[in-house]
Structure 1
Amino acid sequence: MATPRINWYSGACYHITSRGNHRNDIFKDEEDFQVYLTLIYESLEYYMYEEYKVICYCLMDNHVHILISTNNSPPGKFVRRLNSKYAKYFNKKYNYIGHLFQDKYHHELIENDAQMLDTSRYIHLNPVKAKMVVKPEEYKWSSYNMYIGIKAEKNIHSDMILKYFAKERNRDLYRSFVEAKIIREIGDA
């Protein structure tokens, strides 16, 4: 199935989701997660003149979330290269035949500031929602720990989200914003 035509303009941001074929795992061990993260960096370098910026990400066992900003091109080139390179690595390592990813990828245009904030929170809370961890900072394969200052930033542009919070305390305020959703959902349960 072809990816629907993308509504693109310079500066557009998208929530990209790539899912394993038949919802199968696309990451089987820590090396796999690390290779995918390395390929994100390599793809950003490869397309440096396209000026893609990864805002945040979360790699789950059977799917990936990436919030990306585009400048000179739609996100398709970046995502196709990233997923193609990873599929080649995965297929070789596991002697896998066939499509690793279901369809090509799903994209959702971010249309306003509220949607941008909600999407970053949704991405960072994905492992909590899946009951893989209790707190988002416990999950190793997302950009959340970079956002809250536990890990040094690498290959992301947290400023595109943190700018919505008071500069002196933006990381603490972002953490409160994300974790408030956990408290609300537990209270509603």
Structure 2
Amino acid sequence: MRKRRWFPKAWYHITARGNRKAEIFYDDRDRFKYLQLLREAKFSHPFHLHSFCLMSNHVHLLIETIDLPPGTFMKDIHSQYAIYFNKKYGYVGHLFEGPYKAKLQDDASSILQVSRYIHLNPCRAQLTFEPEEYKWSSYNHYLSPSPFYSDLITTSSILSHFRDTKHYEFFVQMANKVRPGHPLNG
């Protein structure tokens, strides 16, 4: 396996999918547990979580490292979550199809595109027409900060590229409106 490139302040689009594309979240408690493990990892192995989306069979995270590579915390998060999930549902074996994938984002444009991509994931999957209708992503925290996410999500870096929150909303929504199948697209 090729060693991942890492350096302090590196940004990664991290994805992980269920084994054989199976669901990794069955209910809200499962998603809360995953977020709890992210929060715990963030405090024990500091990093910045800029965007996330928890789908039924995969996750998207936009993470910026501080002093440690993502492998130091992602392995722990996924191991602990798999133990929780297998115990809760009486399963054995691998929950995730393999190690997480981490794509290095090396410029501001790609970081903004990935944040938008993550926030539009439920729309592309046709779970909702509008990203704000999906509660298991960081998008709503960008529009209206929530105390529940204030210690988990860092919005300031992404929002620093926009005049205000409404401008970021427009940036995301315009990509959504041109998506085939959207009601405003005929």
TM-score band (shorter)? over 0.9
Amino acid at match of 1:157: T
- 1:184 maps onto 2:181 in alignment: no
Per-residue deviation, residues 67-93 of structure 1 (Å, max 9, x unmatched): 000021111111111111100100100
Identity of aligned residues (%): 41
In the superposition, the TM-score normalised over structure 1's length comes to 0.91
Structure 2 matches for 1:66-81, cutoff 5 A? 66-81=61-76
Unaligned runs of 5+ in 2: none
SS at match of 1:42: helix
Counterparts of 1:30-41 in structure 2, within 5 Å, are 30-41=28-39
State the 4+ residue runs in structure 1 displaced beyond 6 angstroms.
none
Residue 128 of structure 1 is matched in structure 2 by 123
Report the Cα offset of residue 5 of structure 1.
Answer: 1.3
Alignment correspondent of 1:146: 141
Give the secondary structure class of the aligned counterpart of 1:102. coil
What residue number does 1:162 align with? 159
Shift of 1:160: 1.3
**Residues 86-105 of structure 1 correspond to what in structure 2 (within 5 A)?**
86-105=81-100
Query: Of 94, 106, 112, which residue of structure 2 is paired with 1:111?
Result: 106
CA distance in 1 between partners of 2:106 and 2:44 (Å)? 27
Correspondence for 2:55: 60
The residue type paired with residue 172 of structure 2 is V
Root-mean-square deviation (CA, aligned residues, Å) is 1.4
Structure 1 match to 2:6: 8
Paired residue type of 1:96: Y
Residue 101 of structure 1: SS of its match in structure 2? coil
Q: CA offsets per residue over residues 111-166 of structure 1, 9 Å max, x none? A: 11110000000000000000001100100110000001163442011111001012
2:167 alignment partner AA: L
How many angstroms does 1:58 deviate by?
A: 0.4
Q: Aligned match of 1:175 in 169, 178, 181? A: 169
CA shift, 1:9, in A, is 1.2
Q: C-alpha distance in 1, partners of 2:10/2:155?
A: 16
CA distance in 1, matches of 2:177, 2:135: 21
Query: Counterpart amino acid of 1:132?
Result: L
Which of the residues 59, 83, 96 maps onto 2:78?
83
Instruction: Say how many residue pairs are matched.
Output: 181
Q: Which runs of 5+ in 1 are unaligned?
A: none
